[in-house]
Chain A
């Protein structure tokens, strides 16, 4: 049994006699300075000074004046004469000797330290020079499937519950209060519930993503991914470590920008931070899903995957350009990364990470999304032309339509110069997840959504919530065998969750704004959504990390890149006679 006491450890690293002598000398001198003696363990302080800690050296010099400074310099010079310039490496070396001797005393191993461990054998396969990259892409594909197909049924469930039973209850309650059909109902259902739904719909996607990231990290694979991708990242002027923020960027640009903090040099952090937004964040996914299922129902999955790939390719191109221009003369910092042994993830850790990261996103996002929903609702409710009353305005006569129409000529050459699209893109600067919300809101009225087909009772609603959750679980489970290539025949035909009226309205609108090339315009719209300026929160994060100057490069630069890319897709496609 260990005997525990709140006393200091008895052991101390002992260095070579000449170093110990100089340490002792400095400790005596430091002890004469009350400010130092009160604030620091003095031997530790002396060691830090020998290791070249400039901050502490400045503090000591400030406390002890030039005479102490001279003494320190003299000590250092005596040691450097003996051990060479790299005194800090000598100290590391001697500390390791102490540790080596200690480990030799307390640890016995059956074989040699050079024996291959289980983890090394796994690495022979997973990081193999031929298999490593394909395996990495297979893992990324799995993560991608997890965040789309497995999370999908739950997204639909959340959506269904909010637009079905909960909306009904709110409407019913307002009926009782005599507010049915008033602007209050419109505000609560059209803005408040839509806003809440906009955030909650994200939760299953983020949960799945953070689950995947936590498993990859905790199992040790994430570091292998960095190793395998290092050569590739080198071409972007970065190294394998930058891959981590990039992967996080598929979830959310905000934590990805903060994740650049783990990189070693300011140059790597900035360059990675500029490329991260090209990794399509999960908030853009609902837009892809909505538009792709409307315009390319048969190839929706392929289109979406293609978009993700396009983002990566753009990052490569931009990375190479930046390296040859703004970052000329700045080589990447050296790549050194520990590969921890593979292990089964600790499920509790995975769970805590999933939970806390998702919660922190929701906390950050909900105010913004909520506020935007209400602002958009207000703009939609205010009639600027015609004879509509407040909250009764015809959609295309609202203040929102007026504003969006002002912006829409910018998008005319791209084929989606209709006010609904430009309106949705504008609100998308606030948060990408409101692009879909705005589209739904703007199309809502023309969509002529059928009133709840059959009136339901409260009990039916409640049981419906649970049974539909059960269905979602079953659907999600059915997807899992498919991810590894098994097809159990079920979950085959994608459930059409886009309301009929909405699909035709959007199609008609894109056809009109593109002169009949609705498909191309939709593709250009998707590419634009993929590449354009990240959301306000991400921009704020980037400003915090890299300073205001780089933000403009990012905002204006990305808008330009997106505009050009969408132009190429739309006009190029037309020239080639596609769509």
Chain B
């Protein structure tokens, strides 16, 4: 695989207020696709707005999404800049 050299971590670990780049959605192919259709495509920028006991509120462009803890763990991201 031609994975770029970058450290990835689950979105769930990124912390409130973090701005990150989506690298890939692991696990369930169906949920990867649903996330993509909502704008969470590899390379897109996400901001974690809020963390409610593991459930995240994130911003992708103008869209605000609630992601359950399970989903948040399946999304791999890398730090911006």
A positions within 8 Å CB-CB of B: 86, 88-89, 92-93, 96, 113-114, 119-120, 123-124, 127-129, 132, 223, 226-228, 230-231, 234, 239-240, 331-341
Q: A230-B68, A334-B28 are in contact. List 13 more A-B contacts (CB 8 A).
A: A89-B36, A119-B64, A120-B59, A127-B57, A227-B52, A230-B52, A231-B52, A332-B70, A334-B71, A335-B66, A336-B66, A336-B68, A337-B66
Q: Could you tell me if A337 and B65 are in contact, using CB atoms closer than 8 angstroms?
A: yes
Shortest distance between the CB of B57 and any CB in chain A (Å) = 6
Shortest distance between the CB of B55 and any CB in chain A (Å) = 4
User: Contact residue range for chain B?
Assistant: 35 or more
Shortest distance between the CB of B68 and any CB in chain A (Å) = 3
Q: Could you tell me if B49 and A338 are in contact, using CB atoms closer than 8 angstroms?
A: no
Shortest distance between the CB of B16 and any CB in chain A (Å) = 9
Q: Could you tell me if B33 and A240 are in contact, using CB atoms closer than 8 angstroms?
A: no
Complex: chain A residue closest to B28, CB-CB:
A334
Docked complex Cα distance between A114 and B49 (Å): 11
Complex: chain A residue closest to B19, CB-CB:
A114
Q: Could you tell me if B55 and A230 are in contact, using CB atoms closer than 8 angstroms?
A: yes
Q: Which residues of B contact A96 (CB under 8 A)?
A: 36, 39, 41
Q: Could you tell me if B50 and A127 are in contact, using CB atoms closer than 8 angstroms?
A: yes
Q: Is B6 an interface residue (CB 8 A)?
A: no
Q: Which of B36, B51, B59 has the most CB of A within 10 A?
A: B36
Shortest distance between the CB of B52 and any CB in chain A (Å) = 5
Q: Which residues of B contact A240 (CB under 8 A)?
A: 55, 66, 68
Q: Could you tell me if B36 and A334 are in contact, using CB atoms closer than 8 angstroms?
A: no
Q: Which residues of B contact A334 (CB under 8 A)?
A: 28, 31, 68, 70-71, 74
B53-77: CB near A (< 8 Å → 1, else 0) gives: 1110101011111111111001000
Shortest distance between the CB of B76 and any CB in chain A (Å) = 14
Q: Could you tell me if B64 and A339 are in contact, using CB atoms closer than 8 angstroms?
A: yes
Q: Which residues of A contact B62 (CB under 8 A)?
A: 113
Task: List the 4 shortest-distance A-B pairs measured between CB atoms, nearest first.
Answer: A335-B68, A231-B53, A227-B66, A230-B55
Q: Could you tell me if B32 and A89 are in contact, using CB atoms closer than 8 angstroms?
A: yes
Q: Could you tell me if A93 and B42 are in contact, using CB atoms closer than 8 angstroms?
A: yes
Indicate which residue in A93, A113, A114, A239 contacts B41 across the interface (CB closer than 8 Å). Answer: A93
B22-41: CB near A (< 8 Å → 1, else 0) gives: 00000011011111111101
Q: Is B47 an interface residue (CB 8 A)?
A: yes
Q: Could you tell me if A123 and B68 are in contact, using CB atoms closer than 8 angstroms?
A: no
Q: Can you list 14 A-B pairs with a CB-CB distance of less than 8 A?
A: A86-B32, A88-B33, A96-B36, A113-B61, A114-B19, A127-B52, A227-B55, A230-B66, A231-B69, A239-B68, A240-B66, A240-B68, A334-B28, A335-B68
Shortest distance between the CB of A533 and any CB in chain B (Å) = 32
Docked complex Cα distance between A88 and B37 (Å): 10
Docked complex Cα distance between A6 and B68 (Å): 44
